[in-house]
Chains A and B, each alone.
Chain A
Amino acid sequence: MPAETIKGLAEAIGLIGAGVAMGFGAIGPGIGEGQAAGKAVEGVRMRPEAAPIITRTMLIGQAVAETGGIFALVIAILLVFITKATTIPVAIAYLSAGISIGMGAIGSSIGQGMAAASACEAVARIPNFSDKIITFMLIGQSAASTPSIFALVVSLLLMFIAKPTTISLAMAYLAAGISVGMGAIGSSVGQGMGAAAACDAVARRPSFSDKVITFMLIGQSAASTPSIFALVVSLLLMFSVKDAGIVKTAAYLGAGISMGFGAIGPGYGCGFAAEEGTRAAGYGFSKYSVALRTMLIGQAVAQSTAVYAMVIALILIYVV
């Protein structure tokens, strides 16, 4: 191919990355914020006199739920205006940056939106506790944004640090983006479920708020474990692989897909346990440590498939 064509093609692939970032990145905020708006309308219908405070809660929650979309927008703008790929491997790294943040933004915004919806409902029920409910919502939401922050970091590393020189390395970087991007979806929705349960619980029994926040953070951190595995695999794919033949290149890609898709289910599933655990704490369930232990054991079993996915990914990177 003549040099001009390669240059043009490289730039084109980078621009596709921008489209992927914003296109996929727009899915989550829309769903999440819509959920919050729906619950806010329901709340206003039931308690019209509390409309201002419900609207305020909704707007704060929606603003946080928008973070993922803003991350995607920033990356898309950077890919369009700042970075310019001149070789095909670098262009693939840019595409991967787009995939990473685009996919990574889906889950976190949905999860944060669930928390915001639950907070609107809770404020409509007890407007007097709105400060405490909003605080809980913000803490839960910030924990739920962890996976999308991982995705953003990997995107930035892919854009500014990784400068692959061969197609083989570029495929490893593509796999890194897929791993952390897909891996973020389930975990952040799961964390959002925990945060939503906490907002609901604190409005029922504010005196148990210490226990609620402990349960919420522990349940959420178990739900975020699959996305941490995805981050580990994608960092390994970015910084520890060497240029290799076609078989190994395919293995890198397989590792990213294994970890990325393998993390979706466990993260989401752990969210159910986090939700019920937080609810148990909020309802003043007295057998505190029994509930905690059951939640953790259940989550550990639910996570086992994510561990298998990570083991297979590591084998694909280092052994095959």
Chain B
Amino acid sequence: MGDIGKIYAWAFKIGNYEIVVNYMTIIWTWIVMAILIILAYLAGKGAKLVPVSRITLFFDWLIDGFRGIVFDTLGEELGRKYFGFIMTIFLFVMTSNVIGIIPGSVCPTQDLNTTLGLGLLVFFVVHGSAIYYKGLWGYLKSYAEPFLLLLPLNVVGEIAKVISHSFRLFGNILGGSIIIIVVGYLVKEWVLPIILNGFFGVFVGIVQAFVFAMLALVYLAVAIVED
């Protein structure tokens, strides 16, 4: 029961600054990256005209489905530009969530630093793209739409988006892991945690990764698509 909400941190000092490293988060982020790189290599190796390996077929199916959604939302030209970004976010977040089913693991996404980092990444990409495509003046003017009085509301709304975007993922994944720990303790790790791992680790993990990537896509679409 002692590990509820435990953060594995390692602190040291450089001059007057204390630097804290959440080492478990970093190690498991590296593991997630390694898994993704290996899978990408394996999937790429089988990418022939007639795909032979199952892993290639699986990624074909996944990427095709996602490309449809991205192209529908952003249009052909912009969609091609941003598809890699959205897909990468989805694959990274999904793997980070699902990796929690390995005993002893720590999901990178149950650390607020990871989710807030991803949220800020999306924030800067969205706003940077908006300035790039609309120009600085057009970007600033979009805050005064539909009329000037809504200016403070729009500004606060943009900040609230980052908070809700990152805390949604963080709360769901951390919540699932805490529930698994507590229930596991109560039933002496007997059968029930497996079912809960299936629900919170795999099902909720995939749904939340999809939601995270879709919200990034929609924020992007609202910021840059003109119609």
Contacts and interface: CB of A to CB of B under 8 A. Distances in A.
B88 to A, nearest CB: 19
Interface residues of A, number: 39
Given A142-B207, A160-B1, A217-B214, A228 B179 contact: no
Interface stretch (B14-22, B26-34, B65-73, B127-135): B65-73
A236 to B, nearest CB: 11
Interface in A53-84: 74, 78
B107 to A, nearest CB: 14
A156 B178 contact: yes
Given A143-B211, A221-B215, A228-B164, A157 B5 contact: yes
B210 A231 contact: no
Interface string B148-177: 001001101100100110011001101110
B160 A225 contact: yes
Given A149-B179, A156-B178, A228 B207 contact: no
Interface stretch (A10-18, A37-45, A167-175, A284-292): A284-292
A152 B160 contact: no
Contacts of B68: 210
Contact of B171 (A74, A78, A153, A214): A153
Contact of B207 (A149, A156, A217, A304): A217
Given A156-B178, A214-B69, A214-B214, A149 B172 contact: yes
A229 B221 contact: no
B38 interface: no
A57 B143 CA distance: 46
Contacts of B171: 146, 149-150, 153, 228, 231
Interface of B: 1, 4-5, 65, 68-69, 72-73, 150, 153-154, 156-157, 160, 163-164, 167-168, 171-172, 174-176, 178-179, 182, 186, 199, 203-204, 207, 210-211, 214-215, 218, 221-222, 225, 227
Nearest to B183: A74
B44 to A, nearest CB: 26
Contacts of A218: 211, 214-215, 218
Contacts, number: 102
A221 B211 contact: yes
B163 A228 contact: yes
A294 to B, nearest CB: 11
Given A157-B4, A289-B73, A231 B211 contact: no
Contacts of A296: 218, 222
Contacts of B172: 146, 149
Given A217-B214, A293-B222, A229 B164 contact: yes
A290 B221 CA distance: 11
B163 A303 contact: no
Interface in A240-298: 288-290, 292-293, 296
A153 B175 contact: yes
Contacts of B174: 153
